[in-house]
Amino acid sequence: MAERARVAVLISGRGSNMAALIYAARAADCPFEVALVTGDRPDAPGLALAEAEGIEVERIAYDKSTFFQTLESLLSDKTIEIIALAGFMRLIPPAFIARWAGRIVNIHPSLLPRHKGLRTHEAVLAAGERVTGASVHLVSEEVDSGELLGQVEVAVLPGDTAETLAERVLIAEHQLYPRVLAQFVGRERDPAWIEARVGALALALPETSFKTSHGAPAWRVGSESSGKLFAILFNRHHGEDSVGVLVKASGQDEMAQLIDAEPEIYFRPAYYGPSDWIGIRLDRSNVDWDHVAEWLARSWRACAPPRLTKLLRAAEEF
């Protein structure tokens, strides 16, 4: 199995959802690990619990002007890939969200898009809802509005108060969050998902088509008879552990340099390596897909017939 995704859990209080994530991650087949717990309140009870469970904890005293900067460097030191908010009650600045786009998840105690914001259970009761629930979603700039990743329904009982309802919704949250986070992390490591994503980028380049190369999904530029491969999906071939895409480097020197500088991103694929194919690992949660698109375009340029590259140069100059 590929390495587990390194998740940082951010809390402001009790941390029962955090605990649910920690205990779920103890299963041998869980695709994520809780690599760090932190938050905006050094005295949050959840931090002491995480510590007792042997999880790395960092206490950051909240300061409006420095908190998110301190957090950012901490996350980078600990090579965190995904942030899971679990009752983290601060608004996150847009620039931070943009840098972590698609990599911050949150749990909210309602069936979003219904009842965003605070005092959710009071709002559910005041609206006379028969059913409420919990939602896990990606964090976007607008509060409680990012892509929904999963939901669970919870019945509202006659006589429920905000407290009794919160208690039952919390049980549902504890089931939902680990399951959805595992699915979310798993989807980014799933070879079929990776292939679809690479394929969409490869086929967006001019005169490209799909073909298989020794059984591996691959993309070619040019015609069926004279076209050349410029990208090959690599899925743990020849006993290697990586899932990635192979693209054309300029030569052995460049390959050696890149692999030496960033071994967590680049690898030398068995069999293809000697003909200047370099591997870019894609079974990670922090893949920079713009960077992958740039490599595909570069590889396309190296393989495309002159008539196409001329066209492209003309378009670029235009």
Which residues of this chain interact with ligand GAR, rule CB under 6 A? 11, 13-17, 46, 86-87, 107-109, 170, 173
Measured from the CB atom, is 16 or 151 closer to ligand GAR? 16
Which residues, other chains included, contact 167 with Cβ-Cβ below 8 Å and sequence gap of 6+? none
Please say whether the dihedral angle defined by the alpha carbons of residues 57, 143, 72 and 194, taken in this order, is positive or negative.
positive
Measured from the CB atom, is 105 or 232 closer to ligand GAR? 105
- Give DSSP secondary structure letters for 26-76: TSTT-SEEEEEEEES-TT-HHHHHHHHTT--B------TTTHHHHHHHHHH
Strand partners, 38: 10
Measured from the CB atom, is 106 or 208 closer to ligand GAR? 106
Q: Which of 108, 115, 137, 237 is catalytic?
A: 108
CB of 35 to ligand GAR, least distance (A): 18
What is the amino acid identity at position 68?
F
Nearest to 84 by CA among 193, 184, 189: 184
Respond yes or no: is residue 291 known to be catalytic.
no
CB of 77 to ligand GAR, least distance (A): 25
CB of 170 to ligand GAR, least distance (A): 5
CB of 80 to ligand GAR, least distance (A): 19
Minimal CB distance residue for ligand GAR: 87
Strand partners, 49: none
Measured from the CB atom, is 37 or 107 closer to ligand GAR? 107
Residue entry with tokens 């932190």: 38
Active-site residues, by number, are 108
